[in-house]
Structure formats: C-alpha cells, structure tokens
Amino acid sequence: RVERAQQNARRVVNFLLRNKHINQVFFPGPGGCDPTSLAIHWSQSKGSGSVISLTT
C-alpha cells in the first residue's frame, strides 16, 4: 500500500513540475529538496514517501 502511494505521489510530482502555474515542488526525491536533506532522508527510510508541498 505504501509503495503504491509513493508511485502515485511521484506521478503527481512529475505533473506539477511540468505545470507553468507551479513555482516550486518540494518532495523527498531528486530535485525536490537540497542534497543534504535528501541524504538524511535516504539514510532513515526505504522510500520517497508521499508528502508533497508546492508554491504557486
């Protein structure tokens, strides 16, 4: 169930990244946060999670 939520979140992120009305998308994945935060996240988890934040 968690894996599917993560897959769906990644699809939403990809859609948001292509949307011209969205300025930034924050998520625990490549391009979604700074490299230090990403390294901390991956040292503590097995997946990217399904939480997404954005600015318009």
pTM: 0.77
Mean pLDDT of the chain, nearest integer: 89
Instruction: List phi, psi (to 5°) of 25.
Output: -125, 125
Mapped to the 3 state alphabet, what secondary structure does the chain carry? CHHHHHHHHHHHHHHHHHCCCCCEEECCCCCCCCHHHHHHHHHHCCCCCCCCEEEC
Q: What's the half-sphere exposure (Cβ side, CA atoms, 13 Å) at 54?
A: 16
Tokens for 8?
Answer: 């769906």
What percent of the chain stands above pLDDT 70? Answer: 100
Q: Report domain extents, the chain.
A: 2-44
Does 33 score more than 90 pLDDT? no
